Amino acid sequence: MRLAERMSRLGTETAFDVLVKARALEAQGKEIIHLEVGEPDFPTPPNIIDAGIRAMRDGKTKYTPSAGIPELRAAIAEHVSRTRNVSITPNHVVVTPGAKPIMFFAILALVEPGDEVLYPNPGFPIYESMVNYCGGTPVPYTLREANQFRFDPDEFRSKANAKTKMIILNSPQNPTGGVLEPADLQVVAQVANQYDAVIFTDEIYGEVLYDGAFNSLLSVPTLADRTILLDGFSKTFAMTGWRLGWGVMPPPLAEHITRLQTNSNSCVAGFVQYAGIEALRGPQDSVKQMLAAFRERRDVIVDGLNATPGFTCLKPRGAFYAFPNITGTGWDSRKLADYILNDAGVACLSGAAFGDAGEGYLRFSYANSLENIQKALVRIRDAVAKIHA
């Protein structure tokens, strides 16, 4: 079968490839600690599960409107209005199976050959993949450790021009845990307004923030007509497998994104959407408990990595990833990630999987038990000690 040319431009997400490798080692009897995939290890809170089961029993098992059921769109509008201090209506909201389709649909709807799209490097690999797939030109801006993994304002400005169609931001950030400050939002606003660019703000980790206030690009008044927000249930409510996310955007764009959904998934399962209403409107204790656990694990893994020869690690302010600098080992990231998987039985990702600026780093997801994290740290230290022994 001859593939369409555009398939040669579609990338992938390495986390899933490493997971396959790790599972193959497990099948051979090796015990692997999984610090590669970014998903909370906690079960979905029981009140959310109950709401999903109840909805299924109540017959919510049929097609639903492509943009989402009105009750969930209203609950999301309320949640986003409250958390971002803005006034969002249900017409701004499109509900999708996981948050990823918002990325896919927004880029598909807006980017075409000749358009440039600014995106973070290191960053979530699907941004670059989708821009390439749609024939646009991905233009990376670098996030450096020396700047707490925030962008450099001068470099950021220098990357934009009249061809800049979209600017992608992600805060708290995967893979670095970096967080945008109010001054950064002002730089983005100035650049976007100057070049009439769309802002795509990926805030899937917006509630996984350990200190300080959350600064959302959606809250910047001058950006209201040009901003698309991606958010969802996967990380905040430990619902990765339910596949439930949302986008918030100006209503005229929401109609087009809804049409893309009609052409692809049709809609999200109704009972899953009812579970989503419970997640947003029900008790929030589980979210607080998960955040407290992530904070404790963050401190343990960062201290442990800093005590590993050749590693240095900043303390991330958000998300649940540690992104240590491993240049002191003398090895490149891919080689070291493979070695740690095969020798130590700890699955992690090479920083280079997030773009060339990720070379020299590894990404560890600490959405795993404290016990497993402590065990992984001992194994990593022992394995790394053998490198130059």
Ligand X SMILES: Cc1ncc(COP(=O)(O)O)c(C=O)c1O
Secondary structure of residue 95 in the 3-state scheme: strand
Whether 172 and 298 have beta carbons less than 8 Å apart is answered as no
- Rounded to an integer, what distance in angstroms lies between the CA atom of residue 298 and that of residue 70? 38
Candidates 140, 245, 316, 345; binder of ligand X (CB under 6 A) is 245
Candidates 204, 217, 249, 322; binder of ligand X (CB under 6 A) is 204
> Would you count residue 316 as binding ligand X (CB under 6 A)?
no
Pairing of strands 137-144, 116-121: parallel
> Would you count residue 98 as binding ligand X (CB under 6 A)?
yes
Is the CB of 95 or the CB of 383 nearer to ligand X? Answer: 95
Is the CB of 240 or the CB of 333 nearer to ligand X? Answer: 240
Q: How many residues bind ligand X (CB under 6 A)?
A: 13
For tokens 């929401």, the residue is 254
> Would you count residue 100 as binding ligand X (CB under 6 A)?
yes
Residues 137-176 as x/- pattern, contact with ligand X by CB under 6 A: ---------------------------------x---x--
Minimum separation from the CB atom of position 35 to ligand X (A): 14
> Would you count residue 215 as binding ligand X (CB under 6 A)?
no
Point out which residues pair with 164 in neighbouring strands. 116
Cα–Cα distances in angstroms (integers) from residue 359 to residues 146, 244, 303, 334, 356, in the given order: 15, 32, 22, 8, 6
Candidates 171, 240, 258, 286; binder of ligand X (CB under 6 A) is 240
Scanning residues 24 to 43, which ones bind ligand X (CB under 6 A)?
Answer: 38
> Would you count residue 99 as binding ligand X (CB under 6 A)?
yes
Secondary structure of residue 36 in the 3-state scheme: coil
Angle between helices 251-263 and 100-110 (to 10 degrees): 110
Minimal CB distance residue for ligand X: 98
Is the CB of 329 or the CB of 365 nearer to ligand X? Answer: 365
- Rounded to an integer, what distance in angstroms lies between the CA atom of residue 76 and that of residue 121? 30
What DSSP designation does 150 have? Answer: E
Is the CB of 204 or the CB of 353 nearer to ligand X? Answer: 204
